[in-house]
Amino acid sequence: MTLLPEADRVGAVELTTVERIRNAALRMVAVQGVSGTSLRAVAAAAGVSLGLVQHHFATKAGLIKAVDDYVFAAVINQITQPVPDTASDSVAEISDRVTAMISQNPDVTNYVGRALIDGRPVGYMIFDALLNSGTARWNQRGERGETRPDIDLTWAAVNSLVLALGTFILRGHIERNLPEPLTSPAQLQRWHSSVTMLLREGLFRHPD
């Protein structure tokens, strides 16, 4: 698993004005929720005028929809793609994708966690899409005879999803009990190893 350090990403690509506004709204909503976010505050955070925000997004609803669409696409495109047949460990492959999301897009994972807590439609959409993808993946593992015969594959998918989304939601509490931020390579490696071991040892057949 290769993680790109934060310092190597910041400033690597110059953002457009639309992207700066969208990212400012994303960070603000993740912390304060939709009701606590105003176009004026987003404009200030993005370093642009209120008129420029309105020019690109018209209304607060338009801005929030743009952020929702961006976050949904970012999560789905990174996590739900089929696992290549060449992958030797499908569990580790998905753990790689989740750790990459946390490392490279921490604002996105924070936004997802807040959307789930607030019960927003984009949270429902992300949960359902990830669960459908995970359920199909676990059913495939079952059909290949990789899993224990006594497990409930539906709950295998739910529990796997809870481990990932629970980390998004509870990141602040988790970090209070870690020696450094969850986004650090060392802590993400710990998360990856522990989750992969939990799923593999608890749900899969032991090799003969």
Mean pLDDT of 4-30: 74
204 — phi, psi (to 5°)? -100, 155
What CATH number belongs to 6-203? 1.10.357.10
Confidence band of 146 (pLDDT split at 50, 70, 90):
confident
Residue 92 confidence (pLDDT) = 87
Q: What's residue 208's pLDDT?
A: 59
Residue of higher predicted confidence among 142 and 128? 128
pLDDT tens figures, 149-163: 888 999 999 999 999
The rounded percent of the chain whose pLDDT value lies above 70 is 91
Q: Across-strand partners of 204?
A: 147
pLDDT at residue 193 in the model: 93
pLDDT at 8 over 50: no
pLDDT at 19: 95
Residue 139 has pLDDT above 50, yes or no: yes
Question: Mean pLDDT across the stretch 182-191?
Answer: 94
Q: What is the pLDDT of residue 13?
A: 59
Instruction: Output the pLDDT for position 84.
Output: 74
State the Cα torsion 175-176-180-185 to the nearest 10°: -20
Task: Give the tens place of pLDDT for each residue, 44-76.
Answer: 999 999 999 999 999 999 999 999 999 999 999
pLDDT of 9 = 38
Question: Regarding predicted confidence, which is higher, 40 or 150?
Answer: 40
Which residues sit opposite 147 in a β-bridge? 204
